[in-house]
Copies of this chain bind each other. A is one copy, B any other.
Amino acid sequence: MEPKLQRLLETIRRLLRRGATQNISRLLGKIHPADIAHLYRYLDPKEQQELFNLIREPEVAGEVLAELDHAFSARLLEQLTGVQISIILQNMPYDDAADIVQNLPEDLAAEVLNLMKDEDSEEIEGLLQYEEDSAGGIMSTEIFSLREDLTVKEAIGSIQKADDVEMVFYLYVTDEHNHLVGVLSLRQLLTVSPATVLRDVMIRDVISVRTDMDQEEVARVVEKYNILAVPVVDESNKLMGLITVDDVIDVIREEATEDIYKMAGANEEELLLGNQAFKIARLRLPWLITNLFGGVATGYLMWLFKVTIKDVIALISFIPVITGMGGNVGGQSATIVVRGFATGKIDMTTLRKVLFKEMRVGMIMGVVCGLTVGLVAWGWHHNPYLGMVVGLAMTVAMSVAATMGVLAPTFFKKIGVDPAIAATPFVQTANDITGILIYFATATMFIQYLK
């Protein structure tokens, strides 16, 4: 935490305790809204609500809300009256306002929309039609565009008059039916003669996305072409909105966090639950219970080999290392494939290469780890055959695990199940089972040398 913020936090806490509401309001007027939002991480729920109620200007309140999670923002607003809420939301960009309205209780949302100016509520209701994770769901509709038959002079005139539009740096050009036909930079306008018609100077090859494109896909387009904003069009190429790169950054962060959480069987919705342990546990349990039955299945397999184990009790010393290493290697391969799918670096065309690479890598690592653990087993239990059995089982188990690590997420992707969440329990259980099978099958085969 930065020292500046630390001091601010302490001041605000002190003032809250003293009930010095006037001073807090004055202080909040002087802080960047992003910094106010940042402080929310460190406040408890009561302080969060109190602080929010003390923000005087609706613009600042709106900016703070836009920085916070939308579900959380909705909860902060619920404490206010419908009129207050509608004023704050009308001071926010429509896309953020729509996301918050979506998270309000239905009655309250309807009331708030009713209280707004028709113009505002219509825009917001329009945005509510789109899927939350689609280009339409994250676009801003306050977009500045110019007709292609304007002259440069007229264009500059309308830029001077325009206000309240999201940062203007690309100027989108449309035809008379509002179809997107070109793009210009503001700087370009300044470098041609004032009488030029936009149609003659604009760049016709505009990169755009459709309203129904998935937000991850949008992020990839923006990233690939290194653009600062991408216009959003409907199926007939009508200009509907704009997605700026700061929204794209949020998408990239969110999706990365989501994938990381999912691979561990956690859930990014937890972030909204604060310290509600029961709700968090409920989110994580289905994944854990799946793993639990995988573990029981592995145990059942071991039980089938109980005679072998009773005969050669030394075999138990290598159960954890064989199942553990299979899980690790499988996890590595699965991670590479899942992340590759997410970033677009791996697709079905390049998958075969990845599979063969991971198989080779798994085999090489399997030989190294097999030799290592084999020598350990030989030295420890003074039996070269035990070393051989353990080493061989480890090598085979690791090679199989690497293969499985590629195949399982691919399979889940093909059948339309998110590989990030399904891969781990499946890979782990499959690897435990094959590891144990290979280990005890080899051991049973060589049983006379092990006793």
* Copies held by the complex: 2
Alpha-carbon gap, A169 to B190, bound state (A) = 13
Alpha-carbon gap, A220 to B395, bound state (A) = 43
A347 contacts the other chain (CB 8 A): yes
Q: Which residue of B lies closest to A353 (CB)?
A: B275
Alpha-carbon gap, A331 to B270, bound state (A) = 15
Q: Is the CB of A350 within 8 A of B41?
A: yes
Interface size on A, residues (CB 8 A): 110
Alpha-carbon gap, A249 to B6, bound state (A) = 28
Which of A79-87, A104-112, A365-373 lies on the face that meets chain B? A365-373
Which of A13-21, A126-134, A317-325 lies on the face that meets chain B? A317-325
Which of B160, B244, B277 lies in contact with A191, CB distance below 8 A?
B160
Q: Is the CB of A42 within 8 A of B343?
A: no
Q: Which of the listed residues A41, A324, A350, A373 has the most CB atoms from chain B within 10 Å of its own CB? A: A324
Alpha-carbon gap, A187 to B169, bound state (A) = 8
Q: Which residue of B lies closest to A225 (CB)?
A: B34
Which of B38, B274, B295 lies in contact with A321, CB distance below 8 A?
B295
Q: Is the CB of B169 within 8 A of A284?
A: no
Q: Which of the listed residues A224, A277, A356 has the most CB atoms from chain B within 10 Å of its own CB? A: A277
A90 contacts the other chain (CB 8 A): no
Which of B190, B222, B277, B350 lies in contact with A360, CB distance below 8 A?
B277
A288 contacts the other chain (CB 8 A): yes
Alpha-carbon gap, A365 to B296, bound state (A) = 17
Q: Is the CB of B296 within 8 A of A373?
A: yes
Which of B42, B224, B250, B364 lies in contact with A277, CB distance below 8 A?
B364
Which of B295, B335, B432 lies in contact with A260, CB distance below 8 A?
B335
Shortest Cβ distance from residue A138 to the other chain B in the assembled complex, whole angstroms = 14
Q: Is the CB of A295 within 8 A of B281?
A: no
Residues of chain B within 8 A of A343, CB atoms compared? 253, 257
Q: Is the CB of A291 within 8 A of B365?
A: no
Q: Which residue of B lies closest to A303 (CB)?
A: B317
A281-B368, A361-B280 known; A1-B349 Cβ under 8 A: yes
A201 contacts the other chain (CB 8 A): no
Q: Which residue of B lies closest to A262 (CB)?
A: B335
A102 contacts the other chain (CB 8 A): no
A438 contacts the other chain (CB 8 A): no
Q: Which residue of B lies closest to A324 (CB)?
A: B295
A27 contacts the other chain (CB 8 A): no
Shortest Cβ distance from residue A285 to the other chain B in the assembled complex, whole angstroms = 6
Which of B228, B313, B364 lies in contact with A306, CB distance below 8 A?
B313
Alpha-carbon gap, A223 to B249, bound state (A) = 7
Residues of chain B within 8 A of A54, CB atoms compared? none
Q: Is the CB of B298 within 8 A of A320?
A: yes
Restricting to A314-371, which residues have a CB under 8 Å from any CB of B?
Answer: 314, 316-325, 327-329, 331-332, 334-336, 339, 343, 345, 347-350, 353, 356-357, 360-361, 364-365, 368-369
Residues of chain B within 8 A of A203, CB atoms compared? none
Shortest Cβ distance from residue A12 to the other chain B in the assembled complex, whole angstroms = 14
Q: Which residue of B lies closest to A250 (CB)?
A: B223
Residues of chain B within 8 A of A419, CB atoms compared? none
A292 contacts the other chain (CB 8 A): yes
Alpha-carbon gap, A175 to B288, bound state (A) = 61
A384 contacts the other chain (CB 8 A): no
A441 contacts the other chain (CB 8 A): no
Q: Indicate with 1 or 0, residue by residue over A221-235, a CB within 8 angstroms of chain B CB atoms.
A: 011111110000000
Shortest Cβ distance from residue A422 to the other chain B in the assembled complex, whole angstroms = 15
A-B contact pairs, 9 of them (CB 8 A): A34-B226, A167-B169, A228-B244, A257-B339, A261-B335, A285-B369, A299-B317, A303-B317, A319-B319
Instruction: Rank and list the top 6 A-B pairs by shortest CB-CB distance, nearest first.
Output: A295-B321, A256-B256, A277-B360, A264-B335, A169-B169, A299-B317
